[in-house]
Chain A
Amino acid sequence: MYGWMGTILRVNLSTGAITKEKLDENLARDYIGARGLASKILYDELPPRTDPFDPANLLIFAAGPLTGTAATSASRYNVVTKSPLTGAIAASNSGGYLPAEIRYAGYDMIIVEGRSEEPVYLWIKDDQVEIRSAKAMWGKGTRETDALIRDETDDEAKIISIGIAGEKLVRFAGVINDRERAAGRSGVGAVMGSKNLKAVAVRGTGGIKIKDGAAFREAVLRNLAKIKSGPVTGEGLPTYGTAILVNVINSHGILPTNNFQLGEFAGAEAISGETLTRDLLVRNRGCLACPIGCGRVTEINWEGNRERGEGPEYESIWALGAACGISDLELITKVNFLCNEYGMDPITLGATVACAMELFAEGVLTVEETGMPLHFGDGQGLLELTRKTAMREGFGDVLAEGSARLAEKYGRPELSMSSKKQEYPAYDPRGSQGIGLGYATSNRGGCHVRGYTIGAEIVAAAVDPLTSEGKAKLLIDVQDFTCVVDSVGMCLFTTFSLGVDDVLPLLNAATGVDYTTESLLQAGERIWNLERLFNLREGLGREDDSLAPRLLQEPLPAGPAKGNVVELESMLNEYYQLRGWDNEGRPTGEKLQALGLG
């Protein structure tokens, strides 16, 4: 096989069985790889209504057919499973250097099933695969785990690991790789912890076979030029990182503040990308084969010690900052470092604490439950609760369940800013209608990357953010193309400068398949529909394609989008219709047949 490695590694932690399977070529062609292919396998193999913490749940680490090639920013993989936070499909994306290593070792993906009796890690060196004891690492942070395992295996090994949050089954625990990269959302780290799998170490010395080397190289060089000359990928992201968005989004009045009560944050400047660059940035950092280098290496002065790490990204700055009314950038950065160490999603953490802060302000939560006063703007409170949540200690044990379960427990479910129990990220959709539809229809719950309409609506101002007209079509196009990008193994950030016709020649040259623009986008559509089928089978339907009541009923009180709510109903009806789904959001027989899902 060209492009694809052609081999799937399967490990059963209950029986200890290690098997290598041939990748089905038809499946590969139809679902591409990474997110798409792993979701298909999960759909085919996982019995419906399986508890996410049941040993039967699959945990799949899946790279794409371009991952690890010279294609620009083709450094990505997905961690795919059934989510313990949402009960829906989870496909969490990460970059760095580990994803390529899986491919160099000879595999397109690693499927883990079952549960080990004792903490273990996998050691994969090319075709040699071992299950080893992780007793010495259990209870340790991701950085220390990385060092310990490289000591025992190979200094060049790339490590996937969970921190204490994954071990404690925090419902939004993430999976860390290369020490500071994260497959953060939907609790994929908790599934890993439930299997007593502490880490996966990979060392690969092989290569990837490209069908048409000359055509591939030509496409890479063309794309590289586009990326380097684009304002976002060539200047904005390298210079300021994603944090550049703080002032931009705040200026538009859609920086969600104090649990989405407001759209403008008085402390925005203090936590902006410009401030981060001036005060904390050491240098930028990139993933494999990436000329963008949006990663931030930062240093803080914490209690007399210099501490270095990576981040915070825009989303982390928002969730640990404006969402909670906090404007202390050093503290936010420290909490972000802790999230990497504990292996915990900062978006859900911040949003859950913000929910708790509002419950506290309402008098629903008191010091008796929380153990401390919990006011908006209280950075110390956030800091202490971060550790407590990772350890499931005291009130942290409640927070570890996420904001939807927290708010439900205290009789105020409407105060959780989430859909499908996953918390929204850093854009208030009352001022950007398309992303509101995006949050509601995302198959993994509140999420901006499933369908990033913000690019067109806000920053390029290609369409008016305050109108709901045309947003269903815009979103569908973004969702389907995103499926393609996620499934080939390229970074979503390349899409600020590249389109489907830039990905097409890479994929064809690498694999020898003759995709057209239409058939490639159709593969994306197929993947989206397949994920939909998974969720429908798990019992999610139209009523779950909704938004928190605040976004539907409470107009933004101030700022540029003052007076607006999300016009979801009309957009959703149009969305279903354009997708070829019925009124309940189910793909019609006709649609399924057209996509080969019938």
Chain B
Amino acid sequence: MTRQAAGLVHLELAGVTVADVLQRLLASNPELKSHLFDGGRLRPDICILVNGRNIRYLDGEATSLDDDDTITIFRQVAGGAP
């Protein structure tokens, strides 16, 4: 899982949008790339929250960020409705 791959729990990164933050995350942790991306696009089973809100219901990777925003990234562990 991502957390094991990174060996990290918390990280502080600077960025204007979620896309920026992801770029910086991969720059310093390139081994995460295959966990998060598939052929240049975010894997469909990766869930990204900004302050607990899924970016799908915000502006996706273009979601802009403020200081002290919390970004949570995890792999989907439960599927959709049958």
Cβ-based interface call for B82 (8 A):
yes
With contact pairs A253-B52, A464-B57, A560-B51 given, residues A477 and B77 touching in the complex (Cβ less than 8 Å): no
Please give, as numbers and ranges, the residues of chain A lying within 8 Å of B63 by CB-CB distance.
none
Instruction: Give B24-65 as 1s and 0s: 1 = Cβ < 8 Å from A's Cβ atoms.
Output: 000000000000000000000101010111101100000000
Cβ-based interface call for B23 (8 A):
no
Please give, as numbers and ranges, the residues of chain B lying within 8 Å of A464 by CB-CB distance.
54, 56-57
The answer to whether B81 touches A477, judged by C-beta atoms less than 8 angstroms apart, is yes
The answer to whether A461 touches B56, judged by C-beta atoms less than 8 angstroms apart, is yes
Cβ-based interface call for A415 (8 A):
no
The answer to whether A231 touches B77, judged by C-beta atoms less than 8 angstroms apart, is yes
The answer to whether B82 touches A461, judged by C-beta atoms less than 8 angstroms apart, is no
Q: Interface size of B by Cβ–Cβ distance < 8 Å?
A: 22
With contact pairs A231-B75, A232-B79, A496-B79 given, residues A461 and B1 touching in the complex (Cβ less than 8 Å): no
Please give, as numbers and ranges, the residues of chain B lying within 8 Å of A498 by CB-CB distance.
82
Please give, as numbers and ranges, the residues of chain A lying within 8 Å of B79 by CB-CB distance.
230-232, 455, 459-460, 495-497
B75 (CB) vs chain A CBs: closest residue = A231
Q: Roughly how many angstroms separate A248 CA and B53 CA in the complex, as a whole number?
A: 12
The answer to whether B52 touches A459, judged by C-beta atoms less than 8 angstroms apart, is no
Cβ-based interface call for A110 (8 A):
no
Chain B at the A interface: SS class: loop
Please give, as numbers and ranges, the residues of chain A lying within 8 Å of B78 by CB-CB distance.
232, 236, 245, 248, 454-455, 458-460, 496
Cβ-based interface call for A478 (8 A):
yes
Please give, as numbers and ranges, the residues of chain A lying within 8 Å of B3 by CB-CB distance.
274
Please give, as numbers and ranges, the residues of chain B lying within 8 Å of A568 by CB-CB distance.
none
Cβ-based interface call for A247 (8 A):
yes
Smallest CB–CB gap between A529 and chain B, Å? 19
Cβ-based interface call for A17 (8 A):
no
Cβ-based interface call for A561 (8 A):
yes
Q: Roughly how many angstroms separate A561 CA and B49 CA in the complex, as a whole number?
A: 12
Please give, as numbers and ranges, the residues of chain B lying within 8 Å of A458 by CB-CB distance.
78
The answer to whether B81 touches A236, judged by C-beta atoms less than 8 angstroms apart, is no
Smallest CB–CB gap between B16 and chain A, Å? 21
Smallest CB–CB gap between B12 and chain A, Å? 17
Cβ-based interface call for B80 (8 A):
yes
Q: Roughly how many angstroms separate A500 CA and B82 CA in the complex, as a whole number?
A: 7
Cβ-based interface call for A474 (8 A):
yes
The answer to whether B47 touches A459, judged by C-beta atoms less than 8 angstroms apart, is yes
Smallest CB–CB gap between B50 and chain A, Å? 9
Smallest CB–CB gap between B58 and chain A, Å? 10
Q: Which of A461-507 contact B (CB under 8 A)?
A: 461-462, 464, 466, 474, 477-478, 481, 485, 495-500
The answer to whether B52 touches A561, judged by C-beta atoms less than 8 angstroms apart, is yes
The answer to whether B82 touches A232, judged by C-beta atoms less than 8 angstroms apart, is no
Cβ-neighbour of B52 out of A274, A456, A462, A560 (below 8 A): A560
Cβ-based interface call for A522 (8 A):
no
Q: Roughly how many angstroms separate A253 CA and B53 CA in the complex, as a whole number?
A: 9
Instruction: Give A231-262 as 1s and 0s: 1 = Cβ < 8 Å from B's Cβ atoms.
Output: 11001110110001101100111000000000
The answer to whether A478 touches B81, judged by C-beta atoms less than 8 angstroms apart, is yes
Q: Roughly how many angstroms separate A477 CA and B80 CA in the complex, as a whole number?
A: 12
Q: Roughly how many angstroms separate A496 CA and B54 CA in the complex, as a whole number?
A: 20
The answer to whether A251 touches B82, judged by C-beta atoms less than 8 angstroms apart, is no
Q: Roughly how many angstroms separate A140 CA and B47 CA in the complex, as a whole number?
A: 47
Q: Roughly how many angstroms separate A90 CA and B75 CA in the complex, as a whole number?
A: 35
The answer to whether A495 touches B82, judged by C-beta atoms less than 8 angstroms apart, is yes
A500 (CB) vs chain B CBs: closest residue = B82
Please give, as numbers and ranges, the residues of chain A lying within 8 Å of B77 by CB-CB distance.
231-232, 235-237, 240, 244-245, 248, 459
Cβ-based interface call for A549 (8 A):
no
Cβ-based interface call for A161 (8 A):
no
Q: Roughly how many angstroms separate A459 CA and B74 CA in the complex, as a whole number?
A: 10
Cβ-neighbour of A462 out of B49, B72, B75, B80 (below 8 A): B80
Please give, as numbers and ranges, the residues of chain B lying within 8 Å of A500 by CB-CB distance.
82
Cβ-neighbour of A248 out of B1, B51, B56, B74 (below 8 A): B74
Q: Roughly how many angstroms separate A477 CA and B81 CA in the complex, as a whole number?
A: 8
Cβ-neighbour of B81 out of A247, A252, A462 (below 8 A): A462
Please give, as numbers and ranges, the residues of chain B lying within 8 Å of A462 by CB-CB distance.
80-81
Q: Roughly how many angstroms separate A236 CA and B75 CA in the complex, as a whole number?
A: 9
Q: Which of A489-537 contact B (CB under 8 A)?
A: 495-500
List residues of chain B with CB under 8 Å of any chain A CB.
Answer: 1, 3, 9, 45, 47, 49, 51-54, 56-57, 72, 74-82
18 contacting pairs across A/B (C-beta < 8 A)? A231-B75, A236-B76, A245-B78, A252-B49, A274-B3, A452-B81, A455-B79, A459-B77, A461-B47, A462-B80, A464-B54, A466-B57, A477-B82, A481-B82, A495-B79, A498-B82, A559-B52, A560-B51
| 13 new A-B contacts at CB < 8 Å, known A231-B75, A251-B74, A458-B78 | A245-B77, A247-B74, A248-B74, A248-B77, A452-B81, A454-B78, A456-B80, A459-B76, A464-B54, A474-B81, A477-B82, A478-B81, A561-B52
